[in-house]
Structure 1
Amino acid sequence: MDRRKVYVLMVLWAMAHLSSPGYSLRALRRTTGGRRGSTGLTGQDANGVPLRRSKRGWMWNQFFLLEEYTGTDLQYVGKLHSDADRGDGSVRYVLNGEGAGTLFKIDEKSGDIHATKRLDREEKAYYILHAKAVNRFTNEALEGESEFIIKIHDINDNEPRFTKDPYMARVPEMSDIGTSVIQVTATDADDATYGNSARVVYSILEGQPYFSVDPDTGLIKTALPGMDREVKENYQVVIQAKDMAGQMGGLSGTTTVSITLSDVNDNPPRFTKTLYEFRVPESTELGSVVGLIRAMDADIGENAEMDYRIIGSDGPGMFDITTNRSTQDGVIVLRKPLDYERKRQYSLRVQVENVHINPRFFSMGPFRDEATIKIIVEDVDEPPVFERASYVMEVKEDAARNTVIGSVSASDPDDKNSLVRYSIDRRTDMDRVFNIHAGNGSVFILRELDREENAWHNISVIATEFSKCNNPRQISRVPVYIRVLDVNDNAPTFATNYETFVCENARANQVIQTVSATDPDEPLGGHRFFFSLAQEAAGKANFSVRDNKDNTAGILTRRNSYNSLQKSIYHVPVVISDGEFPMQSSTNTLTIRVCTCDREGNMKLCNTEALTARAGLSTGALVAILLCVIILLMIVVLFAALRRQRKKEPLIISKEDVRDNVVSYNDEGGGEEDTQAFDIGTLRNPEAIEESKQRRDIVPETFYPPVRRPVLPPTRDNNGDVRDFINQRLQDNDSDPTAPPYDSLATYAYEGNGSVAESLSSLESVTTEGDQDYNYLSEWGPRFKKLADMYGGDDSDRDS
């Protein structure tokens, strides 16, 4: 309701001013006498020529328009009128400039100007336009173009706004009344040159009685003395800004100011106890912390910083005390070695005081405190002490076994100076890669190292103290970090398993695949790989390899087309080498499938392997199908073998001559190199057989020396024949305890000593004239006739 009243008052004020002579809506005519358009003398120029000036028919002043008009009709701005307008409709008024035709429209006949929209002064305060009058029929200018301004009058339609919300401020605790805290600022978008619409007054809504605000400047000040941060630290103050100079009906805005009391040093430090007691072993190292003491200070930050110092001691120089600035603790440090047998207790007098003392609060008392510290020395048997807290060693991965890579050293700090032995904690070296010399602490390797498998080894070395009775008493451990240095011992390989195809319609020198390499080695300067086609494939290669010089290579075609029916898969051997020393290289085979593609090179159809992969069969399904095929093939092979065994003819057709000695079984043996299945010595010359030869396929329970009977070759005096020879051998085998438990066939090819009748063996009786008759055991044939004639036999001998 208040805003409406203000708005009505502003409208009435504007109407009163707009109707006054100073704000005429009509054009003011400036004349010098005579009628419109005439000229008058105004003097002479330098040459004495009379000067004349033209009278102007019109001139425009400012028009005024009220912002935020809410009426239903168009808002009337003003009227243009020319002296040349006789009311006969021959004059046409034209309006140009800012907003002409959109925000402002003119009646061409009457010259009335109306605003078409509600205007906002905060958006634009005034508009500059141009008007002229022309003859409607001839379009001839009756008056020259004149400029005028439409100014927007302001109303109080904007509330004050603070530049921040919330504000953050700090003020020292214990500040005096009137201490400045922060200045807040609110701005009002209304016109500050017109009325009180933009005149802002500040007031405090929340925060009394601690703070106050200046109504004109917005400066916030303290209003209560002795505000203590240790009692209350944070305050929330709400400030209001109201326009219209704070009068009724004005608009207002608020903001929150968060005020924190900053600390001042108004509290002294105080020890929590008057007596502190610490126990320390005599083996404590110099510089070690013996104990911590703490004094409490209610202040914070630098006002709570304290300094500790020893003001009295019965062991001068034995201890020192420093301040930990992050925790404000007093740190007692050992400066000289302790000896339990010499002195078992020390007493110190310690003082603490603030670092930054505020003279303003000296009247509150001394800002220091004192306490007593009691230090008791304990007798202990200390373990061996290593020279270092940890050890770092380096070894190349190609180092030989038993190579010493470093050493550790520990000693017994006790007066006994016991012997120290070293060992490796096998829980940290379960693979037994390293070992240590028990006496001198030298660490050496037990097996070859591989940096690519493990670049760092973290082990723990144990130092054990032995007494005079050689009994272990104290042990200590130290971590040993072993870094394996890289050696170029790995050849580069393809970075991934490439699946490459080439289109049947491919062109020559077309890149079908870009390959890269990987190498588990890590050279200091980075990898540098070289690619080339294998030498053995260079002459007949269908593809070429182009090194891109950036650790990649392109696989290129070497001809214009490929045929999947002729060859569906190509294998391209690519040699990859590194640039390190010693240089390593490997040959990697890239499999390329020939596929049918469209014109854009997209694969349409590939070989059988690709179709199988596209069918979507899983790996398990493929394995199951493969197993079924293998089982079927095994059944077919077994069936064929059984049928072949049934139809196999015996080795010896005639079973009358060799009866129980013939055994047929389906064993092909192991070929020429199989000497374990049976003893082939029986096929050799009996006189060349080793006397102590045993079978190698069985181990007899007892050794039976072979029984050898003298064999006399058939002569004219001893007319034995081959049958007797075979029978004799047969009897020897039957009585041989080392013979196998199954029947065997033994064939003999013995010609006799000094025979010129060539061989009687079927193995060497090959002729080129016709088929050889191998059944010479029952039918002697021509060879026996020749043998009988050589030994002087007659036809009767032949028949026998």
Structure 2
Amino acid sequence: MITNHFLGLLMLSILQPINALPVAPGNTVNLLGTSQEKDDGRILQRSKRGWMWNQFFLLEEYTGNDNQYVGKLHSNMDRGDGNVKYILTGEGVGSLFLIDENSGDIHATKRLDREERAIYTLHAKVVDKRTNETLEADTEFNIKIHDINDNEPKFSKDLYFASVPEMSDVGTSVIQVTATDADDQTYGNSAKLVYSILQGQPYFSVDSDNGTIRTALPNMDRETKENYQVVIQAKDMAGQMGGLSGTTTVSITLSDENDSPPRFANHTFRLSTLESAEVGAAIGRIKANDADVGRNAEMQYSIVDRDGQDMFTIISDQNTQEGVIRVKKQLDYEKQRTYSFKVEVTNTYLDPRFMYSPNPPFKDDAMVRVTIEDVDEPPVFSRNPYIIEVHEDTAAGSFVGVVSARDPDADNNSVKYSIDRHTDLERLFNIDSVNGTITTLKGLDREMSKWHNISVVATEISNPRQTTRVPVFIKVLDVNDNAPEFAMYYETFVCENVQSGQLIQTISAVDTDEPLVGHKFVFSISSSNPNFTIVDNEDNTARILTRRAGFSRREMNTYLLPVVISDNDYPIQSSTSTLTVNVCACDSRGNMQSCNTEALLSAGLSTGALVAILLCVIILLMIVVLFAALRRQQRKKEPLIISKEDVRDNVVSYNDEGGGEEDTQAFDIGTLRNPEVMDANKLRLYESSSSSTSCLNNLSHTLSCHPSIDSYEWSSRFQDLNITLNTGGDISHSFTVFGIISKDAFEF
């Protein structure tokens, strides 16, 4: 405690201003009043000037057991008789600071920390104890906390990360690290820092003043060592012994530079592939190694030999940095079985700083040997596709063209040809299976189909699974086999008051043929035609003109004018088309008014009369249909045999009493069981004198009927009829009926 108090007094004596008056054992502040000083034995009188010293100093972090003495307040009004009282107010009074109101001594009750608060502002005044009258007015003064070195330097981070390019020059800046010290930087060396390196030498150094880390060795190679851990220390008190220190770690990574060339691990690569490998197919990979990373390790591969450049290509796989060799042209085992070529690898990105270094050049090469393996290949056509032309008038069996295919393998097996009938459903063509000659099976018509697209299949005889298809496009050439005709149906009119040479219609023609030089049609009509003439327009159209003036509907209301149209191709084709010309009544401007000839008839039926007749005919037909329907209903109640259609083709013999067995297949027997009663008059209606059935009008006698030879109304139905009855018997008694009837006859 005595030592601390002594140090405090020593520092106060050094730091106090020249106007401060030291009062042992601490600080003394005179309040307003006068003071006396001796000068050469004389007493000098100083005028009133208030506080003599308005600031106290106090060391932080006091560790004594007693309250720490701060200083003493003293007023000239205090004569030592105990009649004055010192009063202290302000920050921390009562908790941190206490004052003896009689003596004016100030003490600190707690340990103070300058880093928490450096200055305390207080107010002091002096009053009379008895009257509480203010003797000295309230005056402000400060208590300043003096710093001691109680805080170590601290870095902003415990771990820093930095990078520097490999192969950097000595002294290249890497990173700057800084530390701070909470002690007072304006007082002593407590906050004066010095940086040093504890770990990381001899590779790096640090600037002692500002903490900048720099490279200390040249040509540091990332491929040798990539990461370094550097420990930096910051020490206060200017680095002197007894100063406090703090440390931090800096992780330094050497960033890659393109200082390593690519190298092939093997200088010979052997690959193999089938000759059937498609163009663009990958047949193998080769790889070079580069110690660099990232974009500095990217490589480009190239084929430098002509032999390899023609048949193969190589590309770089950016993910694996491998060289992928692909087929550039179709391989053929029969032509060449092995290929050898050189492949070169270089870095994609070159660093000019290392291009002229003593190291080997930044590229490498290797040999690649590719072996082609044989494959049983299908036949190969000499062309693909085939385009053949044939005229449409070619007869069946005529030559069309020839296709040719061969086996590309060394064995050169024979092939046979066929047509895929799914492409020739009409079976228009045939092909010779041996020599590939295509012929026609039917005649061709270009107007029906201009092209025929068929597929020809070539198959190896020794291995039918090896097949090849080729499209054959057969173009049917035109032959002039169609005559021109009207482009449309033409029907026009001519006015009754027309003048000679009047145009009544322009006609045109079409031809389904397509001559190479284009169509040229010639139009003509009979030169003897007295009514009309034709003028060829020389553009495949013609004009129809009147040859005379005036036409009469009464004489002729319609003219059918045949026009002959011919083409100019070989052989010349021609046809006759008919132009319909109606004679009509026209106004003075030539506009058609009416072409109806009914108005010209002096006698006859009008349109209304014709309509009335038509209605009568319809009504009459309806009556006939109704009558026929009624007759159909009445027929259901007619006797058994009322028409020829009721006759059945059966021969029946009944020998049992009460009738025979029911013939359910012939007709409804119920009709015979309940016959309608006929009166004599009605019976006579059925027995005309010319009928061969007139003998049926009486069943009470034995009859023998022989119809007249000349009366054969039913001759095809009844050849002979005999009816025998028992004498005098009732019809209900047993009887025998026997009839011989033709195919269409009724049997009973």
Task: Indicate the TM-score class for this superposition, using the shorter chain for normalisation.
Answer: 0.3 to 0.5
TM-score, reference length from structure 2: 0.45
Higher percent of residues as strand: 2
Larger Rg: 2
TM-score, reference length from structure 1: 0.42
